[in-house]
Structure 1
Amino acid sequence: MTPFQTLTGTAAPLLEKGKLMSNVDTDMIIPKQFLKTTTRTGLSKGLFHELKTRADGSENPDFVLNKPAYAKAGILIAGENFGCGSSREHAPWALLDQGITCVIAPSFADIFHNNCYKNGILPVRLPMDVCEQLAALAGGANHVFTVDLATQTLTTPDGVTHAFDVDPGRKSNLMAGLDEIGASLKVAGEISEFEHKRRLMTPWLEPAI
């Protein structure tokens, strides 16, 4: 997993009728017809498929990620309850395949929130009014933001800084590029020592051979 430390990049506001989209579910992020693969690559073609594609299959030029200025956005700004719906891990995979490694929203669905950390995406919670301000800035001529995980700050194009909270353990793992398995392997020696002592102290718990 790629470590996340500092990200400076384009922020794309996910809007509908001029307002941040709320309750964006995982089927909207990556529709079910794109879930046939077990690999993490190539999923960007299905990312927000219903939003970026017209009924006739042509590209929707009004969708933010189809616009040249946001095609390589590394940050996505959305409304409340982002990532709700099913638990499909393809949702963060699709975002990553697009190059998005940070999602800013007032709130996230729990499973999606957890899956972000497992895949190297930083979910940033900020109040709705702040997200709306960020979306307005991202829609301007300068839409480059900086996210610094070490200091837990987001800096806007006009130099304003917003602080955000993050669990210390998840912060440490994300900065080191570790998922839960990787974090466990860091203490593999201690785990083996514990298992050895347990076998000596409670041999009756060992399975019969």
Structure 2
Amino acid sequence: MRISSVPFCSRSRKVLLQTAPGTMGVSETDDVLFCAEDRGGVAARGCHMDYLLAYAVAELLLSVHISLSNLLVLYVYLRKKDVRTVTNTYIFSLALTDFLAGCFGIPITIISVLTRRPQSFYGCLFVHLILCILCTISTFHMLAIAVDKYVTICCRDQLFRSRHSRAVFLIALSWVSGTLIATLPLFNFFGFAE
């Protein structure tokens, strides 16, 4: 393993960067850089900030794509009456959940990661649970679609007379159960706050 001394950012201090050939499946001729600490004990922030910037840009692009594509689905469902079928009601609610995740959940998470705010345990947990709640609700929507298809094919409306009332029930159940399950960490059932 070679250790070389290179300038860090545009400061006069130098940071030691370790290069290890053959690490993480890289060929023997390639080098992998690991950030080390400088003499003052401050972590080398150059590498870390590059990763944070790449993360923020990727998440932001993902957020824009999610928001716009689901906004299109919401727009079509609200504007066209012939599209408002029972199956598309599930899709509408799923698109609404994903739209909220793209518009609010992902940007709030990006801001929290970049600014490292809030500092308190429950504040940080709440910020990240916004996205977790929306993703859990989205997962429950897909489960509701599968349950609806199963009941429609196998049970022939024994549970509910109307597919529309079953859809409303399953969508409401998706929102409520997804929210309850995703917020369990806020109540500290698992002892994370200690």
TM-score by structure 1 length?
0.22
TM-score by structure 2 length?
0.23
Greater relative contact order (Cα < 8 A, sep 6+)? 1
Q: Which has more helix, going by share of residues?
A: 2
Structure number with larger C-alpha Rg: 2
Q: Which has more strand, going by share of residues?
A: 1
